[in-house]
């Protein structure tokens, strides 16, 4: 059974760096069959995709966050991480990690987030 678990500080001061880790169990993050992603949700609001990281270690980010975000892999620990710099109160949210699964049908690729962590709340406040 594949499980994802987010961890990291629940409180970050404004202008500092938010750092979260997602620990994956039940599958190797080195498997080329999946990508690994972060999503966040401010209280009472919708889901916002933050970015994804490939097994190669390269990453794609939401254009609105790209200048502040870095994702990385630690294959020895089967973890992937998120760093977000220069945080403000607007970055206060529940942060989820998720697995992106993909396949091919009728000559088109399709993608979906089939396994999610339970989420971790991050508050940005002094």
- Give the footprint of other proteins on this chain (CB under 8 A): 37, 39, 46-49, 51-52, 60-64, 96, 101, 103, 105, 108, 110-114, 116-119
Q: Given the complex with other proteins, which of 17 and 103 has the nearer CB atom?
A: 103
Q: Given the complex with other proteins, which of 3 and 30 has the nearer CB atom?
A: 3
Q: Given the complex with other proteins, which of 74 and 112 has the nearer CB atom?
A: 112
Q: Given the complex with other proteins, which of 16 and 65 has the nearer CB atom?
A: 65
In 3D, which of 126, 102, 124, 97 has the Cα closest to residue 112?
Answer: 102
Neighbours of 120 (CB within 10 A): 19
Extract the tokens encoding 90.
């607007």
Instruction: Please tell me whether residue 55 adopts helix, strand or coil conformation.
Output: coil
Between the alpha carbon of residue 78 and those of residues 8, 9, 10, 71, 93, the distances in Å are 16, 20, 22, 14, 25
- Smallest distance from other proteins to CB 118, Å: 5
- Smallest distance from other proteins to CB 9, Å: 20
- Smallest distance from other proteins to CB 14, Å: 26
Q: Where are the alpha helices (DSSP H) in the chain?
A: none
- Smallest distance from other proteins to CB 124, Å: 21
């Amino acid at each position: 059974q594949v499980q994802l678990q987010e961890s990291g500080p629940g409180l970050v001061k404004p202008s500092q760096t938010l750092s979260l880790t997602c620990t994956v169990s039940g599958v190797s993050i080195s498997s080329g069959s999946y990508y690994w992603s972060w999503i966040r949700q401010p209280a009472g609001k919708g889901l916002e995709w933050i970015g994804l990281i490939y097994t190669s270690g390269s990453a794609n980010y939401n254009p609105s966050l790209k200048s502040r975000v870095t994702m990385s892999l630690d294959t020895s620990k089967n973890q992937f991480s998120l760093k977000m710099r220069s945080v403000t109160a607007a970055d206060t949210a529940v942060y989820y990690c998720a697995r992106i699964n993909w396949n091919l049908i009728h000559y088109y690729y399709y993608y979906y987030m089939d396994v999610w962590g339970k989420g971790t709340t991050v508050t940005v406040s002094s």
